[in-house]
Amino acid sequence: MQDFEYQANPARVVFGKGSIRKVPEELLRLGLTKPLILCTPQQTLQAEDLRKILDGEVTVAGVFDNATMHTPVDVTDSALKVVKESGCDSVVSIGGGSTIGLGKALSFRTGLYHLCIPTTYAGSEVTPILGETQEGRKTTYSDPKIFPGTVVYDVDLTMTLPAGLSATSGVNAIAHAVEALYARNGNPVINLLAVEGVRALAEALPQIVQDSNTAGPRARAQYGAWLCGTCLGSVGMSLHHKLCHTLGGSFNLPHAETHTIMLPHVVAYNAPNIPETLALLAQALPESDGDAIRGLNVLLQKLGIKRDLKSFGLKEEDISQAADIAVSNPYWNPREVKRASIEELIRRAWAGEEARADL
């Protein structure tokens, strides 16, 4: 039996259909009566619906509707001004990783309580990690103070999430669990959560793509995303997340799509050094035939999503620079990070090739 340390996630989780209606109760339980609602420009309708639920129970301080991908510092600064002017006593984020990231940034800077309501499967809501972008570079922080205090999962809020975005958001969550399985500070408890999370998402996502209006697979995907996000919040990440933060922060590639495209390639790169992880993944991935890389390739094929970074704006001439940035700061990875191999890995992802373990 391996030696390990395990720190439980401190967040309170409220999971269930229609649970958004419990948000006033959750705030009042904590003595909070003046929340500021956060959302993206695309989710103002959901924010307004939440305001209606809150009105009469508490006093809504306002709605800040400019949450942005990769959490730009200038957007956070604008939101901080609204926080100060509104006199709010808490922040409530409703949306995906962009909105939850802003809620984390505000809470971390001000000490305000953060309640979040995820509408995607990204898993950011249960991590102590904050990635912020400034002047073309994305910097990642990890601190227990970044954890949202309460997470409200309501499957109803995911029902209108487009099938394509559901797929990439879900694979993004799977990536958290995969890297947790070979983390330097991993442990048996997190391994159990990771395998269960991958299995739940790998089963649910193809069903969602086939019929996005069925609540059962949606709820299972939400459950899987919670487990995978918990993995991300409990152990260290490695090459996959480093590459995705480089591509997102420096080249403005979309978060979930980038994670989806890169995942099989990084697993293939690390494959010689992670046999136990590959065995666990193969068990959790349908149609893997005992080969985790094949299982990931088949899953992405079934989801029908784009698999090339060039479709999302990465230029061929950017590949070399991306490799330079990705290896510029040393970090732990189960296999030595070699610049030439990383450049070829990015090139394959840029071209949309299937992952293969020959680097």
CATH of the domain at 76: 3.40.50.1970
**Of 129, 156, 183, which closes a domain?**
156
Asked if residues 299 and 202 have their Cβ atoms less than 8 Å apart, the reply is yes
In a domain, 43, yes or no: yes
Contacts by residues 339-346 (CB-CB < 8 Å, ≥ 24 positions apart): 341/269, 342/243, 343/319, 345/243, 345/265, 345/266, 345/269, 346/243, 346/247, 346/309, 346/319, 346/322
CATH of the domain at 272: 1.20.1090.10
**Of 125, 156, 187, which closes a domain?**
156
Sign of CA dihedral 233, 236, 241, 246: positive
In a domain, 335, yes or no: yes
pLDDT of residue 2: 73
pLDDT of residue 232: 87
**pTM, full prediction:** 0.89
- Encode the chain (359 residues) as per-residue pLDDT tens digits: 678 787 777 689 999 999 999 999 999 999 999 999 999 999 999 999 999 999 989 999 999 999 998 899 999 999 999 999 999 999 999 999 899 999 999 999 999 999 999 999 978 899 888 989 998 888 888 899 999 999 999 999 999 999 999 999 999 999 999 999 999 999 999 999 999 999 999 999 999 999 999 999 999 999 999 999 999 888 888 999 999 989 998 999 998 999 999 999 999 999 999 999 999 999 999 999 999 999 999 999 999 999 999 999 999 999 999 999 999 988 899 999 999 999 999 999 999 999 999 99
**What count of Cα atoms within 13 Å lies in the side-chain half-sphere of residue 67?**
28
Residues 25, 42 within the same domain: yes
Residues 217, 341 within the same domain: yes
The token duo for 298 is 């088949």
Residues 117, 148 within the same domain: yes
The total number of structural domains that make up the chain: 2
Residues 251, 313 within the same domain: yes
**Of 95, 126, 156, which closes a domain?**
156
In a domain, 341, yes or no: yes
Domain, as residue range, for 132? 12-156
In a domain, 3, yes or no: no
Question: Mapped to the 3 state alphabet, what secondary structure does 144-194 carry?
Answer: HHHCCCEEEECHHHHCCCCHHHHHHHHHHHHHHHHHHHCCCCCCHHHHHHH
Residues 171, 271 within the same domain: yes
In a domain, 225, yes or no: yes
In a domain, 319, yes or no: yes
In a domain, 6, yes or no: no
pLDDT of residue 53: 97
Residues 116, 187 within the same domain: no
Residues 239, 303 within the same domain: yes
Residues 167, 144 within the same domain: no
Question: How many Å apart are CA 116 and CA 239, to the nearest integer?
Answer: 28
Residues 84, 130 within the same domain: yes
Instruction: Give strand pairing partners of 55.
Output: 58
Question: How many Å apart are CA 324 and CA 302, to the nearest integer?
Answer: 33
Residues 105, 247 within the same domain: no
Residues 17, 87 within the same domain: yes
Question: Which of 37, 171, 172 lies closest to 117, judged by CA?
Answer: 37
pLDDT of residue 36: 98
Residues 29, 67 within the same domain: yes
In a domain, 245, yes or no: yes
